[in-house]
Amino acid sequence: MNQDQIADQETARVLTEALPYIQKFQGKTIVVKYGGNAMVDEDLKRGFARDVILMKTVGMNPVVVHGGGPQINNVLDKIGKESTFIDGMRVTDSETMDVVEMVLGGLVNKEIVNLINSLGGRAVGLTGKDGDLIRAVPLKVKKDDPLLKHSEIIDYGHVGQVESIDPSIVQLLETEAFIPVIAPIGVGKDGVTYNINADLVASGIATTLAAEKLILLTNTPGVLNAEGVLIDAVKANDVNTMIADKTISGGMIPKVECALNAVLRGVKTSSIIDGRRRHALLLELFTDSGIGTQIHS
């Protein structure tokens, strides 16, 4: 068998392996949180857009929720706006929120939409303000002070958390064969705008839409064990134990908790995958082994 025949056989094997997954996910909603290097590297950006278009073409309903932290930081630096951080989280005043909304709802969102459309897809950009999609409340964190022996409530300003989600506009776009691309911005009952963590929004959207799967793109392979080897599957009941023994630690904890909350609320599976790999979405969805850590009930 020559090299061309070997390549043909490998191509056929890959396509055959993908078929049952295409059939499994046909007509199902897949929510994807898009962030990290996949939003910065030009080759990865185009690969992501093509992956999403392919998902839609074979009958799936992808919904994209994106971040944009580095892009926000770049614009704030350019205008000389200094930020205050408490425990690593930016305190967002009204002026900073204006920049956040411009970057997330304008620059970043429209870039993703334009890229998908330019490659043959049909994407529509949204923020949580559109169609009253995301209702938000201020994020207030209770912090214990062991020296003063009391707790204080930290107010981060225009940083919010999801209060409720009305999926009507997303469902309408899905039925009309569009790909919704959502910026994680919500609005309060008083009309105040809030920036919300994109992982939290993706988890909430997936739950509300009764999605088949939630996928979080990150800059890590997934959950690793003590030897640094990828753990390909985690049962929901084991998450708390893995946090307690430090298998899941640091910045991975909130991501796993978002994935876990979606599963506990009806999403079939959640996966944390490495967005630095080309065509990460297709590798996760259409291969037997997948590429990240899957959390399931």
Residue 188 has pLDDT above 90, yes or no: yes
Helices (H) and strands (E) in the chain, counts: 10, 14
Domains and CATH numbers, the chain: 25-289 (3.40.1160.10)
pTM as predicted: 0.91
User: In which band, very low, low, confident or very high, does the pLDDT at 151 lie, cut at 50, 70 and 90?
Assistant: low
Residue 150 has pLDDT above 90, yes or no: no
pLDDT above 90 coverage of the chain, percent:
69
Q: What is the pLDDT of residue 185?
A: 96
Q: What is the pLDDT of residue 83?
A: 78
Q: What is the pLDDT of residue 6?
A: 66
Dihedral sign, CA of 260, 127, 273, 179?
Answer: positive
Structure tokens belonging to residue 46: 């185009």
Give residue-wise pLDDT tens across range 232-273.
Answer: 999 989 998 999 988 998 888 999 999 999 999 999 999 999
Report how far apart, in Å, the C-alpha atoms of 111 and of each of 7, 106, 117, 275 are.
Answer: 35, 8, 10, 18
The span from the CA of 247 to the CA of 242, in Å, is 5
Q: What is the pLDDT of residue 5?
A: 61
Q: Which residue has the higher pLDDT, 103 or 91?
A: 103
Q: What amino acid is encoded at 249 in this protein?
A: S
Give residue-wise pLDDT tens across range 53-101.
Answer: 999 999 999 999 999 988 998 999 999 988 787 777 788 999 999 999 9
